[in-house]
Amino acid sequence: MHRLLITTVFVAAAAAAFWTHFTQASIPDPITEWSNAAQKAVADSGMAPFRTPITFAIVHLAMYDAVNAVAGDREPYAVSPTVHRPASAFAAAIEAGYRILLAEVPSQQPALDAKYAQLRASIRDSQEKTNGAAVGAAVAQSFLVLRANDGRNLNIPYIPESGPGVWIPTPPAFLPATTAFLARITPFTMETPWQFRPNGPPNLNSRQWARDYDEVKKLGAKNHSLRTPEQTATALFWEPLAGTVWTATIRRMTQEQGLDLQSSARFQAAAFAAFADGLIACWDAKFAFNFWRPVTAIQHGEADGNDLTAANSAWEPLAITPNFPEYPSGHACATAAVAHTIEDFFPHDVFIPARNVFTGEERFYRKASDVVDEVIEGRMLLGLHFRSADEDGADIGRKVARQIRSRWFKRTHS
């Protein structure tokens, strides 16, 4: 009896492996297909840039749970539905991705319907397809209930205070802060948004503050800066939003590494969750400390009470300052979270690519710390952040990635 059971399990496993190999060779990866479709859908819908990482995380985590329920050997992220076999993991991923995106960007239903039909047509009609789709539908419904009141659609007005060290709207447009909702969103892998909250920016009376201030004043200025041409090139490379870099890098690495369906689902779920939680943790700190931007601090340097800082009322940063508080750096938070997650997934001989969407320039990094160090430098050189904000932001991102590595997407013990 035991021999028969072992033989049956072996034959079933071999058949599953053959089917996975066969379908992987002939069916597009639905994880990456829906990621690409999500990128277009959120852009065409006009979704705010800092809202889109939350959609990406929900879509990818749902697809991970759908695939894992059918074919995986990992712990579920949140949902473990009943599976009637035989079931197609591809169909499960297709269904989960479609239903989440349709709920998130309903205005894009025609385009989503067309992609859904295309992906569904890549799988032959069978009971496997039907059962797999049922799994994906169940997972998507559970995720939509789970995230129904997570704060991602809140409209939270932000009224800044005033005084030395406090953020106020910055030139040239003096726009109010519109991203305070990010600080209130239920995180994906953290216990709370403030789990990794740092100690805060330097005290305005400290020598560290004077050093940070002087460095940005000299190197981050639009005019009469002491930057070298190489430093200027690095700064401008890292000027675009982090989302324009890392969403593309995640998909690119999935394809270049030739990941199978299960690995693609797990890697992209981990990376997009890291990206979202890096931002959530960062924005919690931003709106907890409400620290002023270099353009405000340097133009009003006399207000900080530090004899080591000198004001320059004509000072301008190299790049236009974003309209939300300075500390910590959102780009550093997100970059560190994603880069270290990539390194955890591909620990050996992998270059981490980054591409500037405006210029097309590409750079490659051997280690996560290499790209993080460059972002720390680059965002300071743009005149957008003080070094302490970049370094503390990177530390937040590292902690997010470390927790994902140690607590999430683990193998089951069976």
Q: Rounded to an integer, what distance in angstroms lies between the CA atom of residue 123 and that of residue 89? A: 11
**pLDDT above 90: residue 111:** yes
Q: What is the mean pLDDT of residues 218-233?
A: 98
Q: Does residue 168 fall inside a structural domain?
A: no
Length of the chain: 414
**What per-residue confidence (pLDDT) applies to 162?**
83
Residue 270 shares a structural domain with residue 402? yes
Q: Containing domain of residue 138, as a range?
A: 26-146
Are the C-beta atoms of 52 and 108 separated by less than 8 Å? no
Q: Does residue 243 fall inside a structural domain?
A: yes
Asked which of 94, 124, 146 is the last residue of a domain, the reply is 146
Q: What is the CATH number of the domain that holds 313?
A: 1.10.606.20
Residue 245 shares a structural domain with residue 327? yes
Average pLDDT, the chain: 93
Q: Residue 131 CA to chain centroid, in angstroms?
A: 31
Q: Rounded to an integer, what distance in angstroms lies between the CA atom of residue 201 and that of residue 161? A: 17
Contacts 24+ apart (CB under 8 A), 67-73: 67/31, 67/92, 67/93, 67/261, 67/262, 67/265, 68/262, 68/265, 68/266, 69/135, 69/139, 70/132, 70/135, 71/16, 71/20, 71/261, 71/262, 72/262, 72/265, 72/266, 73/411, 73/412, 73/414
Are the C-beta atoms of 91 and 123 separated by less than 8 Å? yes
Q: Does residue 225 fall inside a structural domain?
A: yes
Q: Does residue 164 fall inside a structural domain?
A: no
Residue 247 shares a structural domain with residue 200? yes
Residue 219 shares a structural domain with residue 140? no
The token pair that represents 277 in the structure block: 């939680």
Asked which of 146, 165, 194 is the last residue of a domain, the reply is 146
Q: Does residue 290 fall inside a structural domain?
A: yes
**What per-residue confidence (pLDDT) applies to 27?**
81
Residue 222 shares a structural domain with residue 316? yes
Q: Is the pTM of this model over 0.85?
A: yes
Q: Does residue 10 fall inside a structural domain?
A: no
**What per-residue confidence (pLDDT) applies to 408?**
98
Question: How many domains does the chain fold into?
Answer: 2
Residue 201 shares a structural domain with residue 347? yes
Return the SS3 of 139.
helix
Asked which of 146, 169, 204 is the last residue of a domain, the reply is 146
pLDDT digits (tens, 9 = 90+) for 145-181: 999 999 999 999 888 788 999 999 999 999 999 899 9
The token pair that represents 45 in the structure block: 């819908």
Q: DSSP for 263-275, please give it.
A: HHHHHHHHHHHHH
Residue 185 shares a structural domain with residue 105? no
- Name the residue among 386, 339, 331, 375 with its Cα closest to residue 49: 331
Residue 65 shares a structural domain with residue 186? no
**pLDDT above 80: residue 413:** no
Residue 141 shares a structural domain with residue 235? no
Are the C-beta atoms of 129 and 82 separated by less than 8 Å? no
Q: Does residue 152 fall inside a structural domain?
A: no
Residue 85 shares a structural domain with residue 194? no
Residue 273 shares a structural domain with residue 367? yes
**pLDDT above 90: residue 83:** yes
Q: What is the mean pLDDT of residues 200-227?
A: 98
Query: E-strand spans in 281-339?
Result: none
User: pLDDT confidence of 26, banded at 50, 70, 90?
Assistant: low
Are the C-beta atoms of 104 and 58 separated by less than 8 Å? yes
The token pair that represents 10 in the structure block: 């072996």
Helices (H) and strands (E) counted in the chain, each on its own, are 14, 2
pLDDT digits (tens, 9 = 90+) for 298-328: 999 999 999 999 999 999 999 999 999 999 9
CA quadruple 343, 345, 350, 355: dihedral sign = negative
Q: Does residue 85 fall inside a structural domain?
A: yes
**What per-residue confidence (pLDDT) applies to 7?**
29
* Between 272 and 22, residue with greater pLDDT: 272
**What per-residue confidence (pLDDT) applies to 414?**
58
Q: Residue 199 CA to chain centroid, in angstroms?
A: 23
Residue 250 shares a structural domain with residue 369? yes
The set of residues, in sequence order, having a beta carbon less than 8 Å from that of 294 and lying 6+ positions away, is 213, 216, 217, 220, 317, 321, 326, 383, 384, 385, 386
